[in-house]
């Protein structure tokens, strides 16, 4: 099979999956099987693309040409492949999890849920394999649209308000800043293609460079750099699988992935470093890291705490890109991966606790760990990975980000990384500690509670084990990242 066809299939398979899901809507078991098969097929396709790209090829495919010289084109390059691998693999796991969760929680409109989920994944593939800025923008916007029905799934007033914030910020920033930045880039560079070394070197200089970069970083609202982060906590009204895959992995990572890709392939890290354009944004990211952690500290609602933790962690990736050296970029790419596995585990656990024990606040979790040991054990591993402690994968990305900050001569940022690690240790570790070591409140409410649905448990264990495995085997992903920015 030709590799270009595979690229097209990576979008077509999840899109076709929606049809299958719709056709099988009368039979929930068949419908969920369709979701799983689609997810599996997509992962197989992405694996095949990975095989080719890691061999040094860069397959391309032009889908359409809306404006002269600006095609909608797909191109597989290492960074995109890394992102696609993460998203497609975790889609399988999340689908398994959803089956347990959606049924256990008796959610309504499940067919609509699975349909838009598959659409969202198709758009994520588009983002991952976008061959130029315009294509990236197109799929970025489609992703906002396809996730909107998922965020407002509950249909309540709260969901509607959250939906408004969600779409308002994501669309608002992308139209007002990102589109402006894209047209500006086109006006000065005459092209929007992603190229190794960037397309702006020698065509833009002075104050315009940091301004343009700022338009991109803030225009990509999905990266949730403060003050444009409000949509992410708002999106937590969605069912937990949505929060887990989309708002810990696919959507938010689409944001930081775009920032990273633009820094590397539109600006070029040498150009960025030379112009010193990204220094002010390093500090914007650093501020988000610290403030996000502090807010997370104050949230008693578990999902809200995780959301702010995500806001904080996303800025690690932005920070890595803004460091504008190869260690920063490698750390950044690896952090997309490591944080994805860590945070999705945490969300899975939060969802399992909600379904099994109907608890959503941190303060309600005392002693629950003894009745749900697997869930709380997994939460502990996820926490280690987010904090960046061995033996979990998270330690690698923190390591490279630290090296990158020192290489950039920013000792202050190194301190920020350390402080934030401590903060996240404090606000996340509280949960397994409460679960395992605190005595339950009087009278004990935990009778009749046991571990979550078994499909969900499989998913939780899978991602928790993956967090550990990534500590031992980060090699293939590290290699992909060195292809993007070799030290």
Partner 1 sequence: MTAQLPILQVIVPLLAAPICAVLRHGRAATWLAVLASWSALAIAVVLLGQVMAGGVVSYHIGDWVPPIGIEYRVDIVNAWVLVIVASIGAVVAPYSVTSVEHEIASRRIPLFYAAYLLCLSGLLGITITGDMFNVFVFLEISSLSAYALISLGRPRRALTAAYRYLIMGSVGATFIVIGIGLLYVMTGSLNMADLAELLPGVWDSRTVKVAYGFLGVGVCLKLALFPLHLWLPNAYAFAPSPVTAFMASTATKVAVYMLLRFFLSIFGAAFSFDVMALDRVLLPLALVAVVSMSLVAIFQVDVKRLLAYSSVAQIGYMILGLSFASVTGLTATLLHLFNHALMKGALFMALGCVVYRIGSVHIDAMAGLGKRMPWTMAAFVVGGLSLVGVPLTVGFISKWYLILGALEKGGPWIAVAVLVLVTSVMALVYVWRVVEAAYLREFSGDEATREAPLSLLAPTWILVAANLYFGIDAVRTAGVARQAAEVLMAGIGS
Taking the least distance from each CB to partner 1, the nearer of 228 and 379 is: 228
DSSP helix/strand/coil, 439: coil
Taking the least distance from each CB to partner 1, the nearer of 176 and 418 is: 176
Q: Cα(450)–Cα(433) distance, rounded to whole angstroms?
A: 18
Taking the least distance from each CB to partner 1, the nearer of 163 and 377 is: 163
Kind plus residue range of the DSSP H or E element containing 173:
helix 157-173
Binding flags for partner 1, 121-150, as an x/- string (CB under 8 A): -------------x--xx--xx--x---x-
Helix axes 179-189, 208-219, angle to 10 degrees: 140
Return the residue of 1, 64, 207, 472 that touches partner 1, per CB under 8 A. 64
- 160 makes contact with partner 1 (CB under 8 A): yes
DSSP helix/strand/coil, 75: strand
Q: DSSP letters along 287-310, please?
A: HHHHHHHHHHHH--BHHHHHHHHH
Return the residue of 7, 39, 41, 72 that touches partner 1, per CB under 8 A. 72
Total residues contacting partner 1 by CB under 8 A comes to 32
- 62 makes contact with partner 1 (CB under 8 A): no
Return the residue of 40, 172, 367, 440 that touches partner 1, per CB under 8 A. 172
Binding flags for partner 1, 227-266, as an x/- string (CB under 8 A): ----------------------------------------
- 171 makes contact with partner 1 (CB under 8 A): yes
Return the residue of 163, 241, 320, 404 that touches partner 1, per CB under 8 A. 163
Output phi, psi for 166, to 5 deg. Answer: -55, -55
Q: Cα(227)–Cα(356) distance, rounded to whole angstroms?
A: 35
Residue whose token pair is 């397959």: 59
- 2 makes contact with partner 1 (CB under 8 A): no
Q: Cα(321)–Cα(342) distance, rounded to whole angstroms?
A: 21
Q: How many residues are present in the chain?
A: 487
Return the residue of 52, 62, 180, 419 that touches partner 1, per CB under 8 A. 180
- 99 makes contact with partner 1 (CB under 8 A): no
- 66 makes contact with partner 1 (CB under 8 A): yes
- 205 makes contact with partner 1 (CB under 8 A): no
Burial (CB < 10 A; 0-12, 13-18, 19+), residue 99, is buried
Output phi, psi for 180, to 5 deg. Answer: -60, -45
């Amino acid at each position: 099979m030709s590799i270009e066809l595979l690229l097209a299939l990576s979008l077509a398979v999840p899109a076709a999956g929606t049809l299958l899901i719709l056709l099988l809507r009368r039979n929930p078991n068949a419908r969920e099987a369709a979701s799983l098969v689609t997810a599996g097929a997509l992962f197989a396709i992405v694996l095949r693309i990975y095989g080719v790209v890691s061999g040094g090829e860069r397959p391309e495919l032009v889908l359409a040409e809306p404006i002269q010289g600006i095609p909608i084109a797909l191109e597989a390059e290492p960074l995109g492949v890394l992102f696609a691998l993460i998203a497609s693999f975790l889609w399988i796991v999340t689908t398994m999890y959803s089956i347990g969760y959606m049924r256990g929680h008796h959610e309504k409109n499940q067919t609509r849920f699975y349909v838009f989920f598959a659409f969202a994944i198709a758009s994520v593939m588009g983002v991952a394999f976008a061959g130029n800025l315009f294509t990236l923008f197109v799929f970025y916007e489609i992703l906002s649209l396809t996730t909107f029905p998922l965020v407002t799934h509950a249909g309540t007033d709260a969901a509607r308000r959250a939906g408004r914030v969600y779409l308002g910020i994501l669309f608002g920033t992308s139209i007002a800043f990102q589109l402006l930045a894209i047209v500006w880039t086109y006006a000065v560079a005459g092209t929007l293609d992603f190229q190794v070394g960037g397309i702006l070197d020698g065509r833009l200089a002075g104050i315009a460079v940091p301004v343009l970069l700022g338009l991109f970083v803030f225009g990509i609202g999905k990266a949730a750099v403060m003050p444009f982060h409000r949509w992410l906590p708002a999106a937590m009204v969605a069912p937990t699988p949505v929060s887990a895959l989309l708002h810990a992995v696919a959507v938010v990572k689409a944001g930081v992935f775009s920032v990273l890709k633009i820094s590397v392939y539109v600006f070029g890290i040498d150009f960025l470093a030379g112009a010193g354009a990204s220094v002010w944004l390093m500090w914007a990211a650093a501020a988000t890291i610290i403030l996000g952690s502090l807010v997370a500290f104050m949230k008693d609602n578990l999902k809200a705490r995780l959301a702010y933790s995500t806001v904080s962690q996303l800025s690690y990736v932005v920070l890595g890109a803004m460091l504008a050296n190869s260690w920063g970029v490698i750390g950044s790419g690896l952090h997309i991966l490591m944080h994805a596995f860590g945070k999705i585990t945490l969300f899975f656990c939060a969802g399992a606790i909600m379904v099994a024990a109907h608890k959503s606040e941190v303060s309600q979790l005392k002693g629950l760990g003894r009745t749900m040991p697997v869930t709380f054990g997994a939460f502990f591993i996820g926490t280690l990975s987010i904090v960046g402690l061995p033996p979990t994968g998270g330690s690698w990305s923190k390591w490279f980000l630290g090296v990158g900050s020192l290489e950039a001569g920013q000792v202050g940022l190194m301190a920020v990384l350390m402080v934030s690690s401590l903060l996240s240790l404090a606000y996340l570790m509280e949960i397994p500690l409460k679960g395992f070591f605190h005595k339950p409140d009087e009278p004990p409410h935990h009778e009749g509670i046991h571990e979550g649905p078994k499909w969900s448990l499989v998913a939780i264990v899978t991602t928790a084990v993956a967090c550990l495995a990534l500590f031992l085997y980060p090699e293939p992903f590290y290699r992909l990242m060195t292809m993007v920015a070799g030290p």
